[in-house]
Chain A
Amino acid sequence: MRAFSYARPETPAAAIEAFVAAGSGARYIAGGTTLYDLMKLRVEQPTHLIDVTAIRGLDEIATDGDMLRFGALAPMSAVAADRTLQRDYPVLVEALSKAASQQLRNMATVGGNLLQRTRCLYFRNGAGSASTANVYPCNKREPGAGCAAQDGIDRGQAVLGQSAACNAVSPGDWPVALVAMDAQLELLGPEGARTIPVAELYRPPGDTPHLEFTLQPAEIVTGIAVPATRAGRHSTYHKIRDRESYAFALASAAVALELDGDIVRRAHVALGGVATQPWRAAAAEQALLGQRVTPDIANAAGRAALQGARAGHHNGFKIELGARTVADAILIAAARNPA
């Protein structure tokens, strides 16, 4: 482990100032549940850590207005425990509570979680740390180095959104639910505050997979806002993985349905575990509009969600699994809170 400096400013302005002063080796840190891990793996080697957890007022949870608002520093476990969300937005609660373990959710923040980096084995285990014995080329770690995953054991890799340079999966659950629910991201940087859709935080890998987010230098996430919707009552985050807890998704689906009787008036569908970024499935939403939810309709929407998917060597099953996961999620969501 390399030496690094550590600062713990108490205001957003001081944090941004410290980041700008520290230059390119700076990283913000909140719960640390990803960054410390990546530092031990030598994937990240920051020279300055700027701990934002002493900043006050960034951990508020407000679920009573037209917008649900979550301060960036609210712990995942605290948001998952919110009574209103549990009743009216199971998609958000399940996306949080099916991630990691209770201990990690107590540390990890809802803002930091959006910036979690991929679990691609070649990315994580190939940086030459003493804790592993492998060195793999990775365009995400080292632009232009090549991608060991493309012709490797790619069972966990993406079938949607991948490029010749990178097929690493975006690992999160919470971002998938937020993208489905049209959430907005509140940012603060040297140039001031701005708001973007959460969906626009993520960049496709293209030929620059090392550039994962659209954040500007020194920008921090201050909050997340989700438009209130009665679709939340008919929602779920369905997560299929290699074991029933404490694992990343092989395929997941966030689904929320605005129902008029049993007819779908509006649908929110997004996919996780199968794509290089949280994947909004507009074609699946379209397939549900005006329909009564039946297994056949759900299956058709599932297939539509995976439109354009491409298999690698060992991950072809994810196309079928993704479609079935979406279908299951639609049926689960529709059955929630019957009128």
Chain B
Amino acid sequence: MSVEPFPDRPRVDAHEKVRGAAIYAADVALPGLLHAMLVPATIAKGRVTAVPVEAALQVPGVVRVLTATDFPPPVQPAGAGGPPPPPPMITPEIAYRGQPFAIVLAETLEAAIEGAEAIRPDYAPDLAFTPLIDSPGHRREPVEPITAGDAADAMTRAVTRHSAEYVSPAQHHNPIEMLSTTAFWADGVLTVHEGTQSTSGTKGAVGRNLRLEPDQLVVKSPQIGGGFGQKGTPQRQSAIVAHAAMLTGRPVKLVLPRGQIFHNASFRPRSRHRIEIGADATGKMIAVRYDADHQQSRSGQFPPAEYLEAAPQMYGFTDYHGTAANVRIDTQSPGYMRAPHPHPSCFAFESAVDELALMLEQDPVAFRLRHEATIDPIHNRPHSSNHLHSCLREGARRFGWDRRTAAPGSMTLPDGTLVGWGVASGAYPVHIHPNIATLTVRADGTTRFAAAAHEMGQGIRSTIEQVLVRELDIDPTRLELAIGDTSAAAQHTTAGSWGTGSVVPAALEAASRMKAALAELLGDRQVGGNLHRQLARVKRPSLSVEVTRIPYGQGQKELATFQQGGMALAGPFFPAFTTFSFIAHFVEVHVEPRTRRVRVPRVVSVADCGRVVSPRTAASQVRGGVTWAISAALREVTEVDPRYGGWLNNDLADYVVAVNADIGEIDVSFIDEPDPVVNALGVKGLGEVAMVGCAAAVANGIHHATGRRLREMPFRIETLL
């Protein structure tokens, strides 16, 4: 197996994307298409008691309005251990502001919108709703603690203790590609086009809601214009649109307006992190207590315990006590958003580590380097690889950390601008998913590789091509990568940075088998040319191989789960080792002397993600993660007016994401050491860890510049005035 470093190669879809030629799910053109618009509830909680549809039907072009009575009843929860029920379709019970209670179908998008706006339902509002985690009516629900050693006892031995609470706000995804579903029913098969990271999940949710058999459903997700977890779990609108297509016998397309996306899609919940770290007389961290809670819906599943996972993997302390809780209120369900748990938790923990280093009068890089983790203390197993210290050393070298003066406010520019240099680390769990891939090379010059994976811009097609083209003499311009399509191969949810590590080993093995199959086919014949020409010379139209990859620690049971449409993740806690990706970020902040604007002219990030398969898209992933972290730390927050519930700044103008002018130089590099055991290529995972810890580096830099410790994101201009 080849684990040599990979060369730089252009992104396979760069030209298509730059020319606007890439086809996204909502771009599919279908004859006879009906346009749809959901009608959002304008109460925070309660019940829709009547939906008069006459006014909508009078709008020219409106064909039909579907309300709760047109939909099958919601799927009941499967009970303990079973899968969570799919998102309900349309019900009269309203759990959150913006929940759809009707769908309008029309010949044009304009008519669908006008029809939707013409509907004025009767409500029985429940005025005792709970809008915020500290509002009356919230319900705190602790989950199982995560523990190593005896943190309470170890804390009594600590001579230096730091304790503080850190807060990460509610934040929303704002990709350019809106959530959409296009569905049609033909010849007994429902086909759904949707921008999703989980064609299998959409298939399962639609199938269960509409009581369809697996062979009656195909889901296709050709490209995704921003996944990051918003499109990783079943989307509220999918089955609603699919049902509308089945009822009308016509293709139906729905593109959610951004305000409805804010109210119905996954978002990063507000979370609070109370951290206590104790150090012994030698200045070593010996005990950590971590208590996290987050905003949760009444029935949501997004797990709070994962906030507790990263911290004990980073610094080698063995006494740890982590507790976590859901705080249930009246909102839509929160969920995954880039680096979902480690971004807020490493903001908190890495801020706390910085505070402790300052209490101990130690340089924050040197302090971290005095703590090396080689084992996972929770499970008492070795890390399969951990190059965090290399990341810190290399980052410090590239950044010029040795020129830093320690005292806050000691580095300034001639105009009085305060300069701050901050550092922080990040860790993200490594998961691997089974895959079943088929590779076909044809004499006509084409090649097709089909497997479980979704292209959301992270460059997964580029990583697959990188491996196939290196291993096989095939024509890369005629290589079809059939992914994100349930009719091409069994699919999983591509998320959590497991995409590349779960597909490129399959591509590598498929290439190896292809070479063997071709050798067998050719026997003693000496045939020249590339694989296509070799097949043509021996008059063989095509050659196919199939590969099944099961991650370490899994077996036929997990494979069967995957084949039946379920998820079968392995890791990060494998039977004999634990695997995390790591990163170190170094950030320079400038704080203006009078208006106190914070700018970030320069970031150096060094990642340990195992072997880098596609250097160009990998560097892009890190730049994107750093950009998002700066945006999250300084700008992004979704506001709730508690009198109304829902989200106030629910548009792209008022939910402030960073723009180009906010981002300076981002210097990205990789350790590029293959993990020795986690998979055949030594790939760990990158897209998530890229963001982790960077927000803390910003906060630590602001402290270095100003002496002000900021513990609640975002740090907007008023914070430092």
Could you tell me which A residues sit within 8 Å of B by CB distance?
A: 1-2, 42, 119, 121, 125, 128-136, 148, 151-153, 155, 240, 242-248, 250, 317, 320-321, 324-325, 327-328
Contacts and interface: CB of A to CB of B under 8 A. Distances in A.
Contacts of A317: 717-718, 721
Given A1-B114, A242-B717, A328-B595, A134 B648 contact: yes
Interface string B90-132: 0000000110000000000010011011000000000000000
A321 B592 CA distance: 12
A88 to B, nearest CB: 25
Nearest to B104: A130
Contacts of A1: 110, 113-114
Contacts of A247: 653, 656
Contacts of A152: 641, 643, 648
Contacts of B653: 119, 247-248
Interface residues of B, number: 47
A244 B662 contact: yes
A243 B594 contact: no
B169 to A, nearest CB: 13
A243 B662 contact: yes
B635 A243 contact: yes
Nearest to B714: A242
B644 interface: yes
B659 A328 contact: no
A158 B263 CA distance: 27
Given A121-B648, A121-B649, A128 B641 contact: no
B240 to A, nearest CB: 15
A152 B131 CA distance: 14
B648 A240 contact: no
Interface string B39-67: 11110000000000000000000000000
B650 interface: yes
Contact of B659 (A125, A135, A148, A246): A246
Given A131-B257, A132-B260, 7 more contacts: A2-B114, A42-B117, A133-B260, A133-B263, A134-B42, A134-B646, A240-B597
B258 interface: yes
Given A119-B653, A243-B656, A250-B717, A133 B643 contact: no
Given A1-B113, A2-B114, A152-B641, A134 B97 contact: yes
Contacts of A129: 117, 259
B177 interface: no
A291 to B, nearest CB: 18
Interface string B623-637: 000000000000100
Contacts of B116: 130
Contact of A245 (B41, B263, B643, B660): B660
Interface string B659-678: 11110000000000000000
Most buried by B among A132, A133, A240, A328: A133
Contact of B117 (A119, A130, A324): A130
Given A153-B639, A153-B641, A317-B717, A133 B594 contact: no
29 contacts: A1-B113, A1-B114, A2-B114, A121-B648, A125-B259, A130-B116, A130-B257, A132-B257, A132-B651, A133-B42, A133-B259, A133-B263, A134-B97, A134-B646, A134-B648, A148-B644, A151-B643, A152-B648, A153-B639, A240-B717, A242-B635, A242-B716, A243-B661, A245-B659, A245-B660, A247-B653, A324-B594, A325-B595, A327-B594
Interface in B237-286: 257-260, 262-263
A131 B641 contact: no
A133 B595 contact: no
Given A125-B650, A131-B257, A321-B717, A243 B42 contact: no
What is the interface of chain B mostly: helix, strand, loop, or mixed?
loop
B658 interface: yes
Interface in B686-721: 716-718, 721
Interface string B463-500: 00000000000000000000000000000000000000
Nearest to A242: B656
B644 A136 contact: yes
B654 interface: yes
Give 5 nearest A-B pairs by CB, closest first: A133-B98, A132-B259, A131-B257, A317-B718, A244-B661
B259 to A, nearest CB: 4
B37 interface: yes
Contacts of A327: 594
Contacts of B97: 133-134
B651 A125 contact: yes
A130 B113 contact: yes
B713 to A, nearest CB: 14
A134 B651 CA distance: 12
A258 B474 CA distance: 72
Most buried by A among B110, B595, B646, B660: B595
Interface in B1-52: 37-42
Given A240-B717, A243-B658, A130 B40 contact: yes
Contacts of A135: 42
B41 A133 contact: yes
A302 B402 CA distance: 40
Contact of A328 (B594, B716, B718): B594
Contacts of B641: 148, 152-153
A64 to B, nearest CB: 33
Given A240-B717, A245-B659, A134 B644 contact: yes
Interface in B437-459: none
A142 B675 CA distance: 64
Contacts of A242: 635, 656, 716-717
Nearest to B651: A125
Nearest to A238: B595
A36 B287 CA distance: 59
Nearest to A129: B117
A129 B114 CA distance: 9
Nearest to B718: A317
A134 B257 CA distance: 13
Contacts of B717: 240, 242, 250, 317, 321
Contacts of B262: 133
Nearest to B39: A130
Given A134-B97, A320-B721, A125 B648 contact: yes
Contacts of B656: 242-243, 247
Contacts of A131: 257-260, 651
A14 to B, nearest CB: 28
A243 B40 contact: no
A309 to B, nearest CB: 14
B635 A321 contact: no
Interface in B68-96: none
Given A130-B37, A130-B116, A134-B648, A240 B595 contact: yes
Contacts of B40: 130, 132-133
A289 B110 CA distance: 57
A151 B641 CA distance: 9
B45 to A, nearest CB: 13
Contacts of A132: 40, 257, 259-260, 650-651
A321 B113 contact: no
A173 B91 CA distance: 46
A324 B591 CA distance: 14
Nearest to B653: A119
Contacts of B646: 133-134
Given A240-B717, A328-B594, A133 B650 contact: yes
A117 to B, nearest CB: 13
Contacts of B113: 1, 130
Nearest to B597: A240
Nearest to B639: A153
